[in-house]
Structure 1
């Protein structure tokens, strides 16, 4: 940009004052009201029909030499502004300046303003703001393979023992009472049976070769019993971490139905894998698997953190999206199913896979219904704005 202190009015020979506009700068004389404007600014401000003929006349030299240019002081060319406006303006072919005396620019036609974008409804603006906040928070936490540690202290303990932790858990609108009650019942039943675990398991566990004993009641009782504290803590943790969000999404009755059907189908899959087995089976395998699959499918972008360590040396936190963790989990279950069939595993991977199928099917059904409900709500909110 040239030094504006050198810009002089062609008529008054006084310094021009710089003025800023939305499209750029021009220089005006406070005495006579004239102004010097670059051809580039004119093209951004006024229609081509006004400016192109003016510049074409100047390029062809169709005019008479007259007053000096405000910048280079060479004689400018006086040309006709347009056929519709018989006004002569001064143009400097070297500096691309056009000099307008007071009132001459009024004959130019401004470019039409672009149409204003329709304003988003308040709810949509809030959602966009929340997504931006989430994006900023993700950036602050670092990359997925060298993440910042979680904020809550208890997640360090869970991560130390190999448990996944939520980095950005979905917001909840209600308390997960069913999840809490089921977890409490599992803990109470398992702790009650620990002193006499062998007898309790023998009486209330699910045995594939005796699936109808106690009139089929063992399909339910085996859900609440566990083979030890580690077994109990693991399933209770997964239920509490993932079940609360699934319950909040589905509602209490549908959530309870998901767990019940997933547990039942998981037990059937376990029986089908070895119908003649006399080995007792306890644990909430199928029900928890259904919850895990539903969670990962409904909240696929939630980041799950894992603490990578060697012995007691803490290395780093890494994060995976829930959908990727689900893929890994399914691969492990397929390997576990092969080991179960080969008789080298005491974990019922078939129960996990049976519950996972139920979680997938129910997600397909209830996802569609909730999408329709959300679409209807958005349409109503849009109409009310």
Structure 2
């Protein structure tokens, strides 16, 4: 898996929505229950039960999205007899609204930082092309498409679905459509982290192929805990929504200097 660190595609205006999304995601994560345990690696049973109750309330659950029906018993956050207490939900939950709240919840630091890195690198150009308001609506629409797409494929699943990955996958899909020739600096793990500058179509195309492979359960041990199918749906939704903007999108600047780890030879024009 390559790690993007920067793209050679400057934006014309400050991506205030992208920055705001990153800030809200970090803020919400810092106040999620069980965070101290996730950092230290020693979550207590009480922290785990509290986290499960929080996710049951605010995360998107495929079975609830498809059947629009809450479970009879949910975790309360309390501990009794060495386990989490279950009771009828003492709150009203909208499965449709839970898709939105779930976009700002993450399961750990790596989950959060990985998502925010991709959003920071690729989100600014999509926001620049769409405008602030349209980009915000686009981001939410891709998140909803990803969540409901995953739910349709896993209609009986009661596992909570959290994270901004589906919405960010939509941003990646839009970037592939609008800026396929933009250069992206990436780190490739090959004995050491090798820096390369590659075209966006190669970086994002490779990412999409990996999601498809992982969604089939091949080549990864956590296929059951990561919603790779949601990434695929979000990516395709982003491509479709961005396609009408492609004709009027200016090309990225031609990169100069280092190319694929070596200095590019100067070109002479006549």
TM-score over 0.5 (shorter chain):
yes
Which moves more between the two structures, 180-189 or 343-352?
343-352
Q: 1:1-385, aligned counterparts within 5 Å?
A: 163-168=3-8, 170-195=9-34, 196-211=50-65, 212=68, 213=70, 214-215=93-94, 216-309=96-189, 314=192, 316-339=194-217, 344-368=223-247, 370=248
For residue 3 of structure 2, give the secondary structure of its aligned residue in structure 1.
coil
Is 1:183–1:236's contact at 8 Å kept on the other side of the alignment? yes
Is 1:258–1:358's contact at 8 Å kept on the other side of the alignment? no
Counterparts of 1:356 and 1:203 in 2: how far apart (Å)?
27
Counterparts of 1:275 and 1:343 in 2: how far apart (Å)?
20
Is 1:166–1:305's contact at 8 Å kept on the other side of the alignment? yes
Identify unmatched segments of 5+ residues in structure 1: 1-160, 375-385
Aligned counterpart, 2:83: none
Is 1:223–1:282's contact at 8 Å kept on the other side of the alignment? yes
Counterparts of 1:262 and 1:299 in 2: how far apart (Å)?
18
Instruction: State the Cα RMSD in Å.
Output: 2.3
Is 1:304–1:321's contact at 8 Å kept on the other side of the alignment? yes
Equivalent pairs counted in the alignment come to 207
For residue 103 of structure 2, give the secondary structure of its aligned residue in structure 1.
helix
CA distance change for structure 1 residues 358 and 308 in 2, over 3 Å: closer, same or farther? closer
Is 2:214–2:223's contact at 8 Å kept on the other side of the alignment? no
Counterparts of 1:218 and 1:249 in 2: how far apart (Å)?
29
CA distance change for structure 1 residues 220 and 167 in 2, over 3 Å: closer, same or farther? closer
> Which protein shows a greater Rg?
1
For residue 14 of structure 2, give the secondary structure of its aligned residue in structure 1.
coil
Which moves more between the two structures, 244-253 or 198-207?
198-207
Q: Relative contact order (alpha carbons < 8 A, sep ≥ 6): 1 or 2 greater?
A: 2
Is 2:170–2:237's contact at 8 Å kept on the other side of the alignment? yes
CA distance change for structure 1 residues 200 and 329 in 2, over 3 Å: closer, same or farther? same
How much has 1:194 moved relative to structure 2? 3.9
Counterparts of 1:326 and 1:284 in 2: how far apart (Å)?
17
